[in-house]
Amino acid sequence: MSSPLYDDLIQAKMLRGVRKSIAADGNLLEFFGEEGIRLMSYEELEGPIVPPLLAVVSGQGKPEQVIGRQANFSYSVPIVVYVPRQTPVNPAVPRPAPLAITPTSGGGLTGSFSWRATFWNEAGESWASEPTDASLSGQSAAIAFGTIPTGVLGARVWRTEDGRSAYRYVETIQPDQLSSGWKDELDDSMLGDELAPVQLFVENLKDYLRGVLYAHQTIEEDDGTHLADADLILGDRIDRIDRTRNLRIVGMMAQYGTIYSTETMQSVANQGV
């Protein structure tokens, strides 16, 4: 027979299993980082949010039916993703060519990075340029913009953190610096929260996450214990803009179904969380 203790224990294991399944996807792990895919409560989501963040939120678990020596359980796991609102783009504004990056002495950047740039004029801002990658070792990055189209009033530079794939805001470049070049030596911890306007991934994030969840719908513990079978239902939960915090919030509800015997329930209860 089910018990509140058992329900709490298996729910905690389910949450860890869902988080593990999401973090097993290389693209999501690279974009959000290990620390950006987290188990959280709804109360924690009310506090300061530093995007990009993917939160696996405490949900509800309950026995749907108990017959003899087995129980049919249903577990609801909310998943909420926070990313900065992307800058509105005017496709008529010319897009920069890929940046030229030259490692130079005198900086403190170490790692593998990637840069993009956007141009802006009186009509708005362009899509981001194609990426340029470079590895630095205690250096800075000298950035050259190439040809500057007529009417461009400045640029914005975007960069990934070491080993990550989200392009975060670095600096706004004034007109006189476009032709002379500019040097990036900003530490990862100082990058802005805003993400570059890139026609990839963020716009398709919900569909991508759906595919990952379906591909890993059999939740499994490290010891090989199966916590859920292939009975997964995904429903839309959140898709809105928080203008106060300048965040785009998307999410879904993942509902897992599984059947446990009384022996399995007792084993889980004995193990504890």
SS3 letters across 128-173: CCCCEEEEEEEEEEEEECCCCCCCCCEEEEEECCCCCCCCEEEEEE
User: What mean pLDDT do residues 170-195 have?
Assistant: 91
Does domain 4-85+202-271 bear CATH number 3.30.2000.30? yes
Q: What is the pLDDT of residue 1?
A: 45
- Between 72 and 20, the more confident residue is 20
User: What mean pLDDT do residues 235-243 have?
Assistant: 81
Q: Of 62-66, 92-96, 193-197, 223-227, give the lowest mean pLDDT range.
A: 62-66
User: What mean pLDDT do residues 227-237 have?
Assistant: 76
Q: Could you tell me if 252 and 234 are in contact, meaning their C-beta atoms sit under 8 angstroms apart?
A: yes
- Between 240 and 263, the more confident residue is 240
In sequence order, the 6+-apart residues with CB closer than 8 A to the CB of 261 are 69, 70
State the span(s) of the chain assigned CATH 3.30.2000.30.
4-85+202-271
Q: What is the pLDDT of residue 217?
A: 83
User: Which structure tokens are listed for 129?
Assistant: 């340029």
pLDDT at 69 over 70: no
Q: What is the pLDDT of residue 53?
A: 92
- Between 148 and 262, the more confident residue is 148
- Rg over alpha carbons for the chain, rounded to the nearest Å, is 23
Q: What is the pLDDT of residue 183?
A: 94
For every residue of 40-93, DSSP letters joined together read E-HHHHTS---SSEEEEE--EEEEEEEETTEEEEEEEEEEEEEEEPPPP--TTS
How long, in residues, is the chain?
273
Q: What is the pLDDT of residue 60?
A: 67
Q: What is the pLDDT of residue 180?
A: 87
Q: What is the pLDDT of residue 230?
A: 62
Per-residue pLDDT tens for 142-165? 999 989 999 999 999 999 999 888
Q: What is the pLDDT of residue 118?
A: 96
DSSP 8-state secondary structure symbol assigned to residue 226: B
pLDDT at 171 over 60: yes
Q: What is the pLDDT of residue 240?
A: 85
Q: Of 37-41, 48-52, 147-151, give the lowest mean pLDDT range.
A: 48-52
Q: What is the pLDDT of residue 122?
A: 93
